[in-house]
Amino acid sequence: MFKGIGYATTAVCFFLNVYYIVVVAWGLHYLFASFSWELPWGSCDNEWNTKACVNFEMGANMSQMPGKYAKDATLEYWERHVLQVTSGIDEPGGIQWELAGMLLLAWLLCIICICKGVRSTGKAVYVTATFPYVMLTILLIRGLTLEGAWKGIVFYLYPDFTKVFDTQVWIDAGTQIFFSYCTALGTMVALGSYNKYHNNFFKQCILISTLNSSTSVYSGFAIFSVLGFMAHQQGVEVSEVAESGPGLVFIAYPKAVTQMPFSTVWAILFFVMILLLGLASQFVCVEGFVTAVVDIFPDYLRRGNRRFWFMIATSAVSFLLGLSMVTRGGIYVFQIFDYYSASGLVLLWIAFFEAFAIGWVYGADRFVNHMQHMIGYEISSWMKLCWKYLTPVLMLVIISGFLINYKPLKYNNTYEYPLWGHAIGWSLALVSMAIIPAYIVYAFLTTEGSLKERIRYLTTPQLELRPEAIAEQSNGHLELTIIK
């Protein structure tokens, strides 16, 4: 009955594959641009700059800059050269061919990493997952030696408790955690299917969760030490230079790099790290999507090289759809995808149904028993409490708060999308969200019997055991309820 959850996560993965790689394309652009003695976003002497362009020199203060409408050189590089952004989503402005080339290159790199399935993906992860730690450590050491770094560290560590009552903060936090852990995206489930039956996945989940959150805290020191330096140089508060999303990666940090000695070196190191992190996330999501679809149509896609060609076709379709985000109005399309299709409300919705299905339909006790058989030891009862009560309730509270305090999407907090733009966004969200209840209705309509018999049948676990489990069952070591 809840098979629609799997289809929903697959749809989310597809949307994510389409737009996330655009960030990698932006990173490639900046990486290639960094190979110059003078970083192009560090001056106002370029063809894309306007008369309003200003450049913060060492010790300059924002209040000392002439002109109410002055624009920083880094911002002009981002908007007028990289994006060549138009006035709105209703003005596409044609393809920005330089970014289109970067998008194609990003997809080629992704295909190379996953061309042989999980074997090549696993090898690529050794580089994409470890090298950023080296880069992050180098940037952290450099950041801590900058003047004013302590201001950023204090801002980073000092909590603002008023934000606790801001539902958007909870939405953003949930989105970040879900993205970091690949929760409600289906990729961990799809890739986990390649593990052996008795693989200690529970230990790995705890390890990954701890390492992931620790990395976030660690990277925060590297980022906010630089933001503190920027605030010191400009004579403003850290909150005025702190950005989020693309603004942090492609405006705030590049601006800080231009104010460092040997700026070219630091720019190259930073954008190499961004490239590796982006590619790692991208090819895991692509692999997760391909694996899910292959599992849906195993008789067809597991023959010969069909899986490989399906992966190529998926990449090609995603590339063509991604071209809409490298037009001169593409940033508006990108933001709609990012805000609606694969984050926030959609992920919370899927997570609620996942927890409900495990905790109340499949049964938390049965699920725990199966886990214990696979890993060989008992797990804490806390997990059952989370599946049955804490997670569903928390998801419902956040979803309700989001809908009650819903604020229409804006670009740069200034540009308001037209009604049809929001309609497209909500349509993207509903594609994934509607699959779950739609499949429940479909299952009821196509199942024979009375209403009571249908409910009993559809809420009874149906398992297809792996060969390892079947072998153990034949030896009397496995106790599972199986209905085929």
Q: pLDDT, tens digit, for every residue of 359-385? A: 999 889 988 888 888 888 888 889 999
Q: Cα(152)–Cα(228) distance, rounded to whole angstroms? A: 4
Res 472: pLDDT: 57
Q: What is the mean pLDDT of residues 292-309?
A: 88
- Residue from 421, 299, 439 nearest 357 by CA: 439
Q: What is the pLDDT of residues 246-267, one digit of tens each?
A: 777 888 778 878 877 888 998 9
Res 262: pLDDT: 86
CA contacts within 13 A on the Cβ side of 111: 18
- Residue from 25, 16, 14, 30 nearest 268 by CA: 30
Q: Cα(290)–Cα(308) distance, rounded to whole angstroms? A: 9
- Residue from 58, 415, 456, 467 nearest 234 by CA: 58
The 3-state secondary structure of 45-95, one letter per residue: CCCCCCCCEECCCCCCCHHHCCCCCCEEHHHHHHHHHHCCCCCCCCCCCCE
Of residues 50 and 333, more confidently modeled: 333
* 380 and 357 Cβ atoms separated by less than 8 Å: no
The number of helices, as runs of H, and strands, as runs of E, in the chain is: 24, 4
Q: What is the mean pLDDT of residues 128-144?
A: 82
What DSSP line would sit under 149-217, residue for residue? HHHHHHHHHS--GGGGG-HHHHHHHHHHHHHHHTTTSSHHHHHHTTS-TT--HHHHHHHHHHHHHHHHH
Q: Cα(183)–Cα(179) distance, rounded to whole angstroms? A: 7
Q: What is the mean pLDDT of residues 298-315?
A: 90
Of residues 81 and 126, more confidently modeled: 81
Backbone angles phi, psi at 416, to 5 degrees: -100, 125
Q: What is the pLDDT of residues 387-421, one digit of tens each?
A: 999 999 988 988 888 888 888 888 877 889 999 99
Q: What is the mean pLDDT of residues 135-139?
A: 83
* 149 and 143 Cβ atoms separated by less than 8 Å: yes
Q: What is the mean pLDDT of residues 33-43?
A: 91
Token pair belonging to 94: 């044609």
Q: What is the pLDDT of residues 79-88, one digit of tens each?
A: 999 999 999 9
Of residues 472 and 183, more confidently modeled: 183
Q: What is the mean pLDDT of residues 198-217?
A: 87
Taking the CA atoms of residue 156, residue 157, residue 158 and residue 161 in that order, the dihedral angle to the nearest 10 degrees is 90
Give the residue carrying structure tokens 């030896």. Answer: 475
At residue 4's C-alpha, the angle toward residues 283 and 394, to 5°, is 85
Res 385: pLDDT: 93
Res 70: pLDDT: 67
Q: What is the mean pLDDT of residues 25-31?
A: 95
Over 60: is that where the pLDDT of 68 sits?
A: no
* 106 and 21 Cβ atoms separated by less than 8 Å: yes
Mean pLDDT of the chain: 84
